[in-house]
Every structure is written in structure tokens, then in C-alpha cells.
Amino acid sequence: MRFCHLLQKRAEALLAAGSHVIILGDLNTAHRRIDHCNAVNLEYFEEDPGRKWMDGLLNNIGCPAGSHVGPFIDTYRYFQPQQEGAFTCWSVVSGARHHNYGSRLDYVLGDKTLVMDTLQASFLLPEVMGSDHCPVGAVLNVSSVPAKYCPPLCTLFFPEFAGTQLKILRFLVPLEHKPILDQSALQLSSQTLVQKRQNKFCVRLTRLQPSQASSRRGQKNMTSYFQPSSSHSQTSASKLPTLHLVETVMATKTPEEEAIAKVVEGEISASGAKEEKEVLVSFWKSVLRGPFSVPLCRGHREPCVMRTVKKAGPNLGRHFYMCARPQGPRSDPSTRCNFFQWSRPS
């Protein structure tokens, strides 16, 4: 609002100096209810600070005397005072442009004398894509007269628009050197250097001590770190007679018995591998459950789309599902329904 009031003061000052003024662009405010797609459901619509500011800025000729007597005229409403659905901005996320569910935020405003004497047409271009806004324009029957001098705020006086090559020195600012600070900084750097050398010497000493001790004891072999435990040696020793006994028994079997034993061993190994595979499959299924099934909206029985809460609060960052159709008037059944569902419980 500070910007809006400053803009108004600047425009009124130019009018007082005898100039004509045109204000055009995105004012980020839908002035009247006819300029907003959902004004019926908005409380205190006229109490919005931006709309009150535009009430004081604009002069609506069709309104009763004493109201809206500002110095400027909304050129589009000057020609189309009752045109509905004349919007210039739509939500890209909700796809509201498909059903023309938006607001008129872009204006071409002109001072009263200029509009009534020279204005021929004012138009919107909603068919021009490429942005969440569409272009707006006006046609004036005027002739261009060169000015004697440019206004002080003209971009001609900006260095980046001067049309000349800027030197690198313009981006470099010389620093003022203070001798006292330089001397203290030099002392500090010398102390830091001595400290680093002392620390490095201490590190070297600590690294040399273990190596010197190991040289006196001799280099250890890698196998010395892998000594078998006493229990392991006893167990392996106790198994030796059993293994020898099994080999002796197997050697005394007939060829038929050996064939049967091989078949039994093969079945046991196959069943064990199958059980192990089933265990692994069930484990990975419990860990990697895959994507959750997308719910269907109740209004159209169609797959929903996932969105993320971006508003600050306890639900910031949570995901939810909603109807995937473009946003539009509630009276139109082909537009988005009011389905809502959290993706996961909080």
C-alpha cells in the first residue's frame, strides 16, 4: 500500500504540472465484484485496502455523484462497464484458465481529459498464452511530440541504459588501509604461524612414538590378529571323528543307496532355497510397499492429483489429494469438485 500511495502522489504531481498521465500494468487488485470470479464468497470485499485505494484513484463516470471522483479512468470499464468474465489473471496450478476462473488485475488507466478526448478502444487479449497474466491494451488518437527534455526519472539517466560500455573499475571500490590495523593483523598472523608450527611438531612427535615402539618390538604379522579361540579349536577337534565316521559309513553304501541319497539331498537343498527365497520376497515386500493407490474423487470418480501444503502452519509440507479437474465455478459440474483427502495420517 505504501507503493500504491506513492504511485498516486507521483501521478497527481505530474497532472498538476500540466502533463497527461497513463498508468498501466499489474495493480494486483480486482477493483469491483464484476472483476473477480468468486467475489460472492469473499467476505468484506469492498473493505480491502487495495480496492479502497482504487476507489479514490478512479473516476467512474456511471456512478452517482460524489462517489469515485478520482482523477483517473479505468479505460476498459469506460467502454465495457458491464462485461462479465473479463479476466486477465488465472491460477496456473489449478488450471483455472481453462474455465476462465480468474480476476482482472491488469489495467490501463488514464487521466480523465486524455481518456474522454483521445481514447478510441481498450481491450484484453486472453488468448495470448505464455504467462498467468494476459496482455491488455488501449488505442489513443494522439500524435507524438518530442519533449524538450527528459524527466529526471527517465531511464536515459541510468548507467545500465546509457548505451556505453561500462569499465570494470566501476564495479571495484578501493578500500582505505589503516596502518594500525595492518600492524595488528601482521602480528596476529605471525603468532598464528608459530602456533601452527608448534602444533605440527607435536603431531609429528605423537606419530613417531608408536612407530618407534613397533620397530623395537618388530613388525607384526597379519595372521597375529586372527588367533582362533580355545572353544573354536575344541569344537573343530570334536567334529573330526564324526566327519571321519560319516565318510566311512558313506563308503560302505551300495550304488542304489548312493543314488537315493543324492536325490534326497537335492530335494532338501531345493526346498531350503525355495523357503529362503520366499522369506526374502516377503521381507522386501514389507520394506518396499510401492506407491500408494491414488484415490478417486467422489464427484467424477476420476484419479485425484497430489498437492503439498505450502501455507505456514502445523500442516506445512503435508501431501493431500484433490480433484484433478481444472478449477471453475461451482455451478459447472465439469469443473473441479470439492474432494479432499490427506495422503497419510498425521
Which conformational region is residue 130 in: left (phi greater than 0), alpha (psi within -120 to 50 degrees), or beta?
left
Q: Which is higher by pLDDT, 178 or 277?
A: 277
Residue 165 belongs to a domain = no
Last residue of a domain, one of 140, 174, 205: 140
Q: Which helix (H) or strand (E) covers residue 4, if one does? A: helix 2-16
Residue 238 scores a pLDDT above 50 = no
The pLDDT assigned to 236 comes to: 47
Residue 38 belongs to a domain = yes
Q: Strand, coil or helix: what is 77?
A: helix
Query: What domain range is 94 assigned to?
Result: 1-140
Q: Which is higher by pLDDT, 80 or 42?
A: 80
Q: Which is higher by pLDDT, 279 or 113?
A: 113
| Residue 28, marked binder | yes
User: DSSP assignment of 242-311, as one string?
Assistant: HHHHHHHHHHT--HHHHHHHHHHHHHHHHHHHHHHHHHHHHHHHHH---PPPPPBPTTT--B-EEEE--S
Residue 133 scores a pLDDT above 50 = yes
User: What DSSP state is assigned to residue 229?
Assistant: P
Mean pLDDT, the chain, as a whole number?
Answer: 79
Give CA separation, 67 vs 60, 63, 79, in Å.
Answer: 8, 7, 19
- How many structural domains compose the chain? 2
Residue type, 105: L
Residue 179 belongs to a domain = no
| Residue 35, marked binder | no
How buried is 341 (Cβ within 10 angstroms: 0-12 exposed, 13-18 middle, 19+ buried)?
Answer: exposed
CATH of the domain at 89: 3.60.10.10
Residue 239 belongs to a domain = no
Q: Which is higher by pLDDT, 305 or 60?
A: 305
Q: Which is higher by pLDDT, 235 or 312?
A: 312
**Could you read off the pLDDT of 138-161 as tens digits, one per residue?**
999 988 888 888 878 788 788 777
Q: Check the CA dihedral 315-317-322-326 and report its sign.
A: positive
**Could you read off the pLDDT of 35-44 as tens digits, one per residue?**
999 888 788 8
Residue 14 belongs to a domain = yes
Residues paired with 24 in a beta bridge: 108
User: Rounded to whole angstroms, how far apart are CA atoms 57 and 71?
Assistant: 6
Residue type, 252: T
CB 68 within 8 A of CB 55: yes
Last residue of a domain, one of 140, 161, 182: 140
Residue 59 belongs to a domain = yes
Core vs surface per residue 238-262: b (16+ CB within 10 A) or e: eeeeeeeeeeeeeeeeeeeeeeeee
Q: Pick the most confident of 57-66, 131-140, 146-155.
A: 131-140
Full-model pTM: 0.54
| Residue 199, marked binder | no
Residues 6+ apart with CB under 8 A from 108: 22, 23, 24, 75, 76, 122, 136, 137, 138
HSE at residue 124, side-chain half, CA atoms within 13 A, is 22
Q: Pick the most confident of 133-142, 221-230, 267-276.
A: 133-142
Considering only 9-23, 69-83, 251-265, 331-345, which range has the smallest mean pLDDT?
251-265
| Residue 111, marked binder | no
Residue with cell string 496450478? 93
User: DSSP assignment of 189-202, as one string?
Assistant: HHHHHHHHHHHHHH
Last residue of a domain, one of 121, 140, 159: 140
Residue 322 belongs to a domain = yes
Residue 59 scores a pLDDT above 50 = yes
Residue 214 belongs to a domain = no
